[in-house]
Amino acid sequence: LTHPLLIVGAGIAGLWTALKAAPQPVVLLTGAPLGEGSSTGWAQGGVAAALGPDDSAALHARDTVMAGAGLVDETAAMVLARPGPVKSARCMIWAPGLNARTDGGWALSREAAHSVARVARMKGDQAGAGILAALIEAVRAADHIEIREGWRAEALLPDLKAGCAGVLARDPDGKLAPIEAAHTVLATGSLGGLYAVTTTPWTSQGQALAMAAELGAVIRDPEFVQFHPTAIDIGRDPAPLATEALRGDGAVLVDRKGSSLHAGRA
């Protein structure tokens, strides 16, 4: 059986793609149980989008380009900034009440590199957990999605014409099984877990990048790995964060030499 669409990974990227693919049937593979093993549930500060009255997509894009100090693709920054308000609004509507302020407006905070407050928060620092829970609920209720929890992709199946014909996956009993598909989406997250100390789940080890490279894919920009600037050095891996709710409200960070910097403008 060849499935029309196979998605590997159940963080925000995999879950969102699976929902958007409707009514096309989707097989969704996730190595960890749904809701676990993904950076998405760990995201704290929120969704950056031009939602405030003093903001615009152009200003958001300009700040993004400035923050990258010459490394940002300007077209990509504009694409990121433009649909942001609509998409994030939709996410938040899926999780009603999480972003609520008494006056009904957005709870926005200002973080590093943003010239205005534009990080929409949920319940303080629970943005990722809230969005993930809402997406999982929607995916579980969707008839077009078959969820396979505990199925870990280990290699891509080669196809002479299309390049990729699906994946070779390990099922929950430890057996290897091919899953053939006309289209395969790899949404397995970061590779931060390869480092000695990370702020992502340690299971995020870039396996899909390795699988794609093995099949001959050209890997673009692998050096861009997210690390949080406010991790606390207490000998734990992954390192815990000083909550982004503090940063968003302008907390001052002090390092062990006593130097301080304003977290919101770091």
Residue 77 sits in the site that holds ligand FAD (CB under 6 A): no
Residue 26 sits in the site that holds ligand FAD (CB under 6 A): no
Among 64, 99, 126, 204, binds ligand FAD (CB under 6 A): 204
Q: Which amino acid is at 231?
A: A
Closest CA to 190 of 235, 224, 156: 224
Q: Which amino acid is at 190?
A: S
Residue 87 φ/ψ, nearest 5 degrees:
-65, -45
- For residue 44, the minimal CB distance to ligand FAD (Å) is 5
β-strands 119-120, 108-109: how paired? antiparallel
Among 152, 165, 193, 246, binds ligand FAD (CB under 6 A): 152
Residue 207 sits in the site that holds ligand FAD (CB under 6 A): yes
Residue 234 CB-half CA count within 13 A: 7
CB atoms within 10 A of CB 91: 22
Among 5, 7, 12, 164, binds ligand FAD (CB under 6 A): 12
Output 71 or 160, the one with its CB closest to ligand FAD. Answer: 71
Residue 42 sits in the site that holds ligand FAD (CB under 6 A): yes
**229 cis-preceded (ω within 30 degrees of 0):** no
Q: Residue 7, Cα to own-chain centre: how many angstroms?
A: 15
Closest CA to 262 of 118, 127, 113, 122: 113
Residue 37 sits in the site that holds ligand FAD (CB under 6 A): yes
Output 224 or 258, the one with its CB closest to ligand FAD. Answer: 224
Which residues ranging from 211 to 250 are in contact with ligand FAD (CB under 6 A)?
226, 228, 241, 244
Residue 98 sits in the site that holds ligand FAD (CB under 6 A): no
Burial class (CB in 10 A: 0-12, 13-18, 19+), 128: buried
Output 102 or 228, the one with its CB closest to ligand FAD. Answer: 228
DSSP secondary structure code for residue 52 in this structure: S
- For residue 131, the minimal CB distance to ligand FAD (Å) is 9
Count the residues of the shown chain that bind ligand FAD, applying the rule CB under 6 A: 36
β-strands 2-8, 176-186: how paired? parallel
Residue 184 sits in the site that holds ligand FAD (CB under 6 A): no
Output 29 or 65, the one with its CB closest to ligand FAD. Answer: 29
Scanning 51-59, 63-71, 173-181, 199-207 for contacts with ligand FAD by CB under 6 A, the matching segment is: 199-207
Whole-number Å distance between alpha carbons of 231 and 139: 32
Residues interacting with ligand FAD, by CB under 6 A? Answer: 8-14, 29-32, 37-40, 42-46, 127-128, 152-153, 187-190, 199-200, 204, 207, 226, 228, 241, 244
